[in-house]
Amino acid sequence: MKLIYTDEAISDLQRLRKFIADHNPSAANKMAKELIKKVDLLPDFPEIGIAVEMAPDPNSVRDVVFGRYVVRYSVHSDTVIILRIWHGLEDEQ
């Protein structure tokens, strides 16, 4: 299964990394690497997240929490698309 990040998800990851880097650059690098490593598992375990009930197709849009971060993604027959990424203390994207 293929893994794709939307432009919004890439921007989210960059924003989160920058926010942390302003206070602790090494922590920012560690967070980004760990989060990406966990997201890379989604094609192997696409059903791990919780269905997003408000989505047009709740069975294909899911949220998974990795530590303090929420990853929203959609599952397709041969692709997992990362839609958004945010910190759990932020408002839902």
pLDDT digits (tens, 9 = 90+) for 14-63: 999 999 999 899 999 999 999 999 999 999 999 999 999 999 888 899 99
pTM, entire model: 0.90
Does the structure show a pLDDT above 70 at 93? no
The domain in which residue 45 lies consists of 2-87
Number of domains in the chain: 1
Looking up residue 72, the CATH number of its domain turns out to be 3.30.2310.20
Number of residues in the chain: 93
**Tell me, what's the pLDDT at 91?**
64
By CB neighbour count within 10 A (0-12 exposed, 13-18 middle, 19+ buried), where does 22 fall?
Answer: exposed
Residue 67 in domain? yes
Strand residues in the chain grouped as ranges (E): 2-5, 50-51, 61-66, 69-75, 79-87
Contact between 61 and 55 under an 8 Å Cβ cutoff? The reply is yes
Higher-confidence residue: 19 or 91?
19
Residue 80 in domain? yes
Contact between 21 and 28 under an 8 Å Cβ cutoff? The reply is yes
**Tell me, what's the pLDDT at 89?**
75
Residue 21 in domain? yes
**Tell me, what's the pLDDT at 92?**
57
Residue 93 in domain? no
